[in-house]
Amino acid sequence: MNYQNIEKIYQDIFSSYAHPELDTHIKKIMELDEYLPYSSTFFCITNTQNLTFEFVSKNMKACLGLDKNVLLNEGMRNFWSRIHPEDIELWLKGLNDLMVYTLEDIPLNKRYRMSYTWNYRFKNEQDDYVNIIQNTTPLEFDAEMKPIMGLAHYTVMDAQVKMPITVSAKLLNDQNEYETKFFNNYSQSLLTDGLSNRERDVIRLLTLNKSSKEIADSLYISPNTVDTHRRNILKKLNISSTGELVGMLKINIGFI
C-alpha cells in the first residue's frame, strides 16, 4: 500500500481539530524514563494530529536497534515504513474499527479510562521483522472527545512467534481492573476465537495468580460465576488445568 494512502486513512481515523498541550505530562514521563531499566519494552507519546512522536523512551534502541532521534524527527511516516507490508491493511482496519467502536459505544465520560491493544510485524535495524504488541492509553482528546494523543507501550517479541493481527479495547472499571469491551482477529482463525470478552478477562487475571474471589471482586461478578467461566474456558480450549492455560498463553499472547 502506498504510504500516502496510509497517511490519508490514518488521518481520517484520527481527524480532529483541537491542539492540546501536554508539556508538563511529557516532562514527567521523561523524568520517569531515566529510572527505567533496559528491557524488551519501550514507550512513546504519540500525537495523531500532526503524525509525530512527542517522546520516545531510551529503550527503543535496546529493543529495535533504532535511533530514537530519527523517529522524533521523521515521525509516524518513518515508523509506518517499517511495518510489514502484509500487515498494514489489517492494522489500519483494526484501528478504524476501534475508533468507530469508541465513538459509538463508549460514553464520553469513560473514554479517558480506555486502553487499546493491537499488534503487527516491524523491521528492526538489522532489517529483520519482529512482532510488536502495542498498547495505547489516551492522554488527550479533541473537542468531540476523540482520542488524539496517547501513551503507547510497545513489547517486542521474536518473529518466530506466529501472531495473527488482533485488536482489543478495554475499560478500566472502578476497581482499577480492565474489562474487555471489544476484540477482533483480522488474520487466520485463532484457537481462542470462541472465547467471550468476559472469559478473556478471567484468563488474564488467572495468569496473574488471582483467586476466583479476587477475580469476582475485580469484575463485579460472583465467585460462582467465575468458576463457571473457568470450566467453560477449559472446555472450549480443550485443556485440563490453569497451568496448561498459562503455558498456552505464552504461545498465543495476542488473544487477550
63-98 pLDDT, tens per residue? 999 999 999 999 999 999 999 998 998 999 999 899
Out of 35-44, 104-113, 193-202, least confident range = 35-44
- In this prediction, residue 130 has a pLDDT band, given cuts at 50, 70 and 90, of very high
Same domain, yes or no, for 24 and 61?
Answer: yes
> Are residues 194 and 213 located together in one domain of the fold?
yes
CATH number of the domain to which 152 belongs: 3.30.450.20
The grid cell for 197 is 470478552
Q: Which residues span the domain enclosing 230?
A: 189-256
Give residue-wise pLDDT tens across range 201-218.
Answer: 888 888 777 889 999 999
Nearest to 109 by CA among 141, 69, 149, 64: 141
What's the domain count of the chain? 2
Q: What is the pLDDT of residue 22?
A: 54
H or E, element range at 161:
none
In whole angstroms, give the CA distance from residue 133 to residue 175: 25
**Same domain, yes or no: 162 and 242:** no
Buried b (16+ CB within 10 A) or exposed e, 136-163: bbbbbbbeebbbbbbbbbbbbbebeeeb
- What percent helix, strand, coil does the chain show, rounded to 5? 45, 25, 30
Which tens digits make up the pLDDT trace of 1-44? 777 788 888 888 887 655 555 566 667 667 667 666 667 889 99
pLDDT of amino acid 61? 93
My answer on whether 160 and 129 are in the same domain is yes
If we measure between CA atoms, which residue out of 140, 149, 233, 221 comes closest to residue 192? 233
What's this model's pTM, rounded to 2 decimal places? 0.75
